[in-house]
Structure 1
Amino acid sequence: MALGPWSVNPAWQNFSSLFREANAAIEAPTDMEKSHHLTASLYFGIAALEAFLNQQMRSHMTPSKDDKAIFEKLRTGRFIKKLKTWPAEIIGRPTSVASDVIELIEFCNDVRGDLTHPKTVGHNIYERLFEVEPMSVVNAIATYVASFHEVQGTRYPYWLFGWNYLNPRPNTHEIILINDQQFLHSLAALGFDIPSYDYARAEAWKEKYMASVDGYAVVRDALRSSNRCEPKFDRFPFQPKLCRRWWTAEHHKTCGCVTE
């Protein structure tokens, strides 16, 4: 079986699943369903962050270490230690993530651990689970990643907003990765004032809004205020479209299907 393009980047795949589950938790009609989606959010959120850190550490070690040494480094050590110490080891200085963000990630990891390895009986674990606000998990993971890139002097990936590109197919759908310049074109198509066709201004925009935590928050809030996806054009039936609810059948039909 050939795997699709969604399988090439574990950090992206897990973060996308986190975003999907967080939305499902918000919309869940019963506590039973909410607990399911909240639990999944915690699993995918921590997995996304650890995958990201592992990717960064692998890239950092590759020039001087062999695969065995890299594998040993990645497989050992607790997640929270990686979270707090690896950025300084990789970049040369720690990230500037706010303490409340770190505390929330630690809390989510603790609850996830209790759900995986219950040490008590009763409802206390689920009481802690219901303290979690679903979108706060998304915000915390994305903020950590954006902060890492800010300190590193690189740009964070557009998929931190939770939106994805649906690749148009006749009878199915899949999400794919696209470059950040196309992301700017998509924002412009959505009606935002983005200089996507002016290279110098586009690069300046990306440096301002896609290379810092503050920039991430501005674009995130703007996208969350949008009630539509990137519009389709009959002239380009196979063009991937940026979709805000890429996991639903309704949007597969409107964003992911090939135009007649």
Structure 2
Amino acid sequence: MSGLGEVWMWNVDPVWSHHASMIKESILSTESCDDFSRHHHLMGCLYFGIGVIESFLNKMMRNVMENELTSEDEIFKHLRKTSFNVKKMKWPSVICGREVHIPDMYMSTIDSCNVLRGEITHPKRRDHSIYRDLEEVGPAAFAEAVTCFIVYIYQEKEEVFPYWLLGWNCVGMNGDVACMELSNNLNGFVWSLARMGLLEVPAGGHLSEIWEKEYMTSISGYSAIKSRLDSYPEDIEPFNSIGNIPFPRLTKRWWDRNYILSKTPDAFRSRRVFS
């Protein structure tokens, strides 16, 4: 695999995309009003959740192998040929350079849901018991297990995890108040927390960097921030703008354009500031 003809795009990332889709499907499965829709969203949650783990592990292992000056052909072969279970069990310790212990409650949830995902993808049963098993899936617990699996690896690497693992995303790309965008921790997320009244230090500067290292490098920090966000009375950050330019906003319903527009002043609902 050579570098010739490679394609790079703005506002895309496989891990982010899979994670956001998993969270969305998890929530929509609980809001569905009929069996077909609920099963559809539960299946989607399983598909995207396993995709989160594999895309994340592939990305991290690629970084390790690139740092070791491994050829692209060998990297691609290793990522492609290694089974999901081997990646899940063996790769975290390779990625972190030391043993990683992820709690059994998360690993068992991921394992059981992965088996179910395989059965859904390649159905073999005589009866319809697969739908009974699907109904027994706890989508929120599965999504939390997947997310915590990743946070534990960031913790062992002593690196900052991205804000979107908390289940909230930014909207407002190119002035479209409902267009989802991939932001970052210090130039986006902490400013949103400050506008929501959830940040105890000033956004920007050295203090917010200290806050990020304290809260966004560990499973305990993840839990603390998530608790604050879960208790927030709205599903979206208050609207703010500079003149006719709206600020990007943090929301946990980034896919729901009607909801976002309902929380947006009329003058900003139907236009893009930038082309």
Q: Same fold (TM over 0.5)?
A: yes
Alignment of 1:20-99 (within 5 A): 20-63=24-67, 64-99=69-104
Residue 250 (str. 1) matches residue 250 (str. 2): no
In structure 2, list runs of 5 or more residues that go unmatched.
1-6, 270-275
Give the match for residue 166 of structure 1: 171
* Separation of aligned partners in 2, 1:177 and 1:204: 22
Q: Cα gap change, 1:91/1:169 in structure 2, threshold over 3 Å: closer, same or farther?
A: closer
Shift of 1:200: 2.9
* Higher mean displacement: 9-18 or 225-234: 225-234
Answer whether contact 2:110 2:142 (CA < 8 A) is retained.
yes
Residues 118-156 of structure 1 deviation map (CA, whole Å, 9 limit, x = unaligned): 121212211211121111121111101100000011011
Judge conservation of contact 1:15–1:44 (CA < 8 Å) in 2.
yes
CA contact (8 A) 2:161 2:217 kept: yes
Secondary structure (helix, strand or coil) at the match of 1:72 reads helix
Q: State whether structure 2 residue 239 is matched by structure 1 residue 232.
A: yes
Aligned to 1:183: 189
Which range moves more in the overlay, 240-249 or 14-23? 240-249
Cα distance change, pair 201–77 in 1 and its aligned pair in 2 (3 A) = same
Q: How far apart are residue 168 of structure 1 and its match?
A: 4.6
**Runs in 1 of length 4+ with deviation above 6 angstroms?**
none
Following superposition, the deviation at residue 194 of structure 1 comes to 2.7
Aligned to 1:144: 149
Partner in structure 2 of residue 102 of structure 1: 107
CA distance in 2, matches of 1:95, 1:258: 51
- 207-216 or 67-76, larger mean C-alpha shift: 207-216
Q: Do the aligned partners of residues 171 and 230 (structure 1) sit closer, same or farther apart at CA in structure 2, a change above 3 Å counting?
A: closer
Q: Which moved more, 1:93-102 or 1:161-170?
A: 161-170
* Partner of residue 134 from structure 2, selected from 129, 137, 143: 129
Question: Is the 1:61–1:70 Cα contact (8 Å) retained in structure 2?
Answer: yes
Residues 219 and 30 of structure 1, relative CA distance in 2, 3 Å threshold = same
CA deviation digits over 1:156-177, x for unaligned, max 9? 1100012111125566843212
Structure 1 position 249, deviation (Å)? 2.0
Kindly indicate whether the alpha-carbon contact (under 8 Å) linking 2:26 and 2:45 is maintained by their aligned counterparts in 1: yes
Q: What is the deviation of 1:215?
A: 1.0
